[in-house]
Structure 1
Amino acid sequence: MNQPLSPSERRREIVNLVMARKSISLEDLVAQLGVSRMTIHRDLDLLEERGLLRKERGGATAESSLLFESNFHYRLQNENAEKRALARAARALVEPGSVIMVDDSTTTLLLAEELETIEFVTVITNSLPVCELLRGRSNVQLILTGGSYNDTLQAFYGLICEQSLGKLRADWAFLSASSVIGLSLYHQDQEVVRMKRALMAAAERKALLLTHSKFKARALNHFGELSEFDRVFIDARLDEPTRQKLRQADIAFELV
């Protein structure tokens, strides 16, 4: 007979199930884990408080909402081919000796992977995965902003992060967004918004990397306009009506 899971093991299994299925019902969790509905409710409340999933009527989901940004590891699994194409297109902007800033998105993490062939580059970031990827690379001078660490987003934020960025300058800043509504960019978290604005202010030029799904997503906090970016890369699955709207608004963008 199998031993019952400890509370921490059970919650870890809940997160794994939600990430694997995107959404799961309360009844399925009860059946899978063999505990009461009340226990699952308490687990979901705690996991939502930690930012690992979003509790919804009748179950839980890993999908983002106006207020909730999905877990970093969940986002890393999605649209990998599209993000990889965007990263390769953006990589062409980085010249040997450049100083670049990279935000905390999963798309720009893939850009960091593309830097291996550049002779020398300085990378400034608030992203822990970018730091872990690039540390020890002989061709990279790595500068981490510091700040308050957010485990759900795998990055650093807050006053220290923003002040660090305010004292630095870069040739390029590479960013993504949670949502594009009209011609405006949005994110769920105000601290992330402030970090992105600090990145944008510190760079001579700015590049934006967007998957087509961002034009269907929604988030609460405005942080910028498409027109503020020198280069905008969007994956080729962007629908034709949205392409036409961007062209009519004179937004220069490149499909990759």
Structure 2
Amino acid sequence: MRLDERRRAIVAAVQNEKTVQLDELAERFAVSRMTIHRDLDYLESRGLLRKDRGSATAESSLLFESNFHYRAQMDLPEKRALAKAARALIEPGNVIMLDDSTTTLMICDELETIEHVTVISNSLAVCERLRSQTNVQLVMTGGNYVDTLQGFYGLICEQTLHRLRADWAFLSAPAAIGTALYHQDQEVVRMKRALMASAERSVLLLTSPKFTTRALNHFADITEFQRIFIDRRLDEASAQRLRQAGIPFDLV
């Protein structure tokens, strides 16, 4: 197996199994532990996985946001339900903003029945989903492209967003701690803040596992959103904290 083939196979194994032991990878691909170490170092530098105490994992950490393609496979029924709830807010002629998350991406599949809608996004995945839909006017921000996140970021992206206005901004987050939202990447935080600043109303879509994960950078309080949709698997303790804080939310 060539080097590039082995590394692609390692990424596929980690994404399929979430976590794989280093020794198991060495045995599976019939190479030395040192070779696997070098492979994992390279793949980690590309943001495709992370090394974690003798193993490789696709799971997020405080500093590592899981690869886009891995996240896109997770919690699909819940993300579809959240997207349907979000769709009910959008009216013909609206201008909406979608962030780079795999959760808000699902809204793209709900737009076919709207007579006309303008969609602004930094997400390449959004572009690929909507580029052939004749009822959608698609506006891409441009900026510095990051393949592992399938999105555009940086000064050009943020300046573009600040020059535009929208009726709705739809966002998600990799981590919710209490009533605060966090992300691993500062560039993504700035993009999300720019989205929120350019929209009349902001909508938060969260799958319930986000209340048990952690990330480094605070980017918003849940109170900043006009509508909040969370899937029905939300644990009672997290739901109670939101209610005690006086935050209205919809379980879908």
Task: Output the TM-score relative to the length of structure 2.
Answer: 0.99
Per the TM alignment, residue 112 of structure 1 is displaced from its structure 2 partner at its CA by 1.1
Work out whether 1:186 is the aligned partner of 2:182.
yes
Per the TM alignment, residue 244 of structure 1 is displaced from its structure 2 partner at its CA by 1.2
Letter in 1 for 2:231: D
Query: 1:177 is matched with which residue?
Result: 173
Per the alignment, in what secondary structure is the counterpart of residue 167 of structure 2?
strand
Work out whether 1:246 is the aligned partner of 2:213.
no
Q: 2-side partners of 1:202 and 1:59: how far apart?
A: 42
Task: Output the TM-score relative to the length of structure 1.
Answer: 0.98
Work out whether 1:40 is the aligned partner of 2:36.
yes
Query: 1:163 is matched with which residue?
Result: 159
Structure 1 residue corresponding to 2:15, chosen from 12, 19, 26: 19
Per the TM alignment, residue 240 of structure 1 is displaced from its structure 2 partner at its CA by 1.1
Work out whether 1:117 is the aligned partner of 2:118.
no
Q: 2-side partners of 1:153 and 1:135: how far apart?
A: 19
Q: 1-side partners of 2:210 and 2:53: how far apart?
A: 24
Q: 1-side partners of 2:113 and 2:58: how far apart?
A: 35
Per the alignment, in what secondary structure is the counterpart of residue 137 of structure 1?
coil
Query: 1:57 is matched with which residue?
Result: 53
Structure 1 residue corresponding to 2:88, chosen from 83, 89, 92: 92
Residue-by-residue CA offset, 1:182-238 (whole Å, 9 max, x unaligned): 110000000000000000000000000000000000000000000000000000000
Per the alignment, in what secondary structure is the counterpart of residue 111 of structure 1?
helix
Q: 1-side partners of 2:196 and 2:50: how far apart?
A: 30
Fraction of identical pairs, as percent:
69
Superposition misfits of 4+ residues, deviation over 2 angstroms: none
Per the TM alignment, residue 243 of structure 1 is displaced from its structure 2 partner at its CA by 1.0
Per the alignment, in what secondary structure is the counterpart of residue 228 of structure 2?
strand
Residue-by-residue CA offset, 1:39-60 (whole Å, 9 max, x unaligned): 1000000000000001111110
Work out whether 1:126 is the aligned partner of 2:127.
no
The answer to whether the 8 Å contact 2:183/2:217 transfers is yes
Per the alignment, in what secondary structure is the counterpart of residue 173 of structure 2?
coil
Q: 2-side partners of 1:11 and 1:244: how far apart?
A: 44
Letter in 2 for 1:104: D
RMSD (Å) for aligned C-alpha atoms: 0.5
Work out whether 1:74 is the aligned partner of 2:70.
yes
The answer to whether the 8 Å contact 2:95/2:168 transfers is yes
The answer to whether the 8 Å contact 2:178/2:238 transfers is no
Structure 2 residue corresponding to 1:224, chosen from 220, 235, 238: 220
Per the alignment, in what secondary structure is the counterpart of residue 112 of structure 2?
helix
Q: 2-side partners of 1:60 and 1:241: how far apart?
A: 31
Per the TM alignment, residue 245 of structure 1 is displaced from its structure 2 partner at its CA by 1.1
Per the alignment, in what secondary structure is the counterpart of residue 74 of structure 1?
helix
The answer to whether the 8 Å contact 2:172/2:205 transfers is yes
Work out whether 1:142 is the aligned partner of 2:138.
yes
Letter in 2 for 1:182: G
Structure 2 residue corresponding to 1:151, chosen from 130, 147, 150: 147
Work out whether 1:195 is the aligned partner of 2:195.
no
- The count of corresponding residues between Structure 1 and Structure 2 is 252
Per the TM alignment, residue 113 of structure 1 is displaced from its structure 2 partner at its CA by 1.1
Structure 2 residue corresponding to 1:30, chosen from 23, 26, 31: 26
Residue-by-residue CA offset, 1:75-131 (whole Å, 9 max, x unaligned): 011100111100000000010000000000001110111111111000000000100
The answer to whether the 8 Å contact 2:114/2:135 transfers is yes
Structure 1 portions without partners, runs of 5+? none
Per the alignment, in what secondary structure is the counterpart of residue 106 of structure 1?
coil
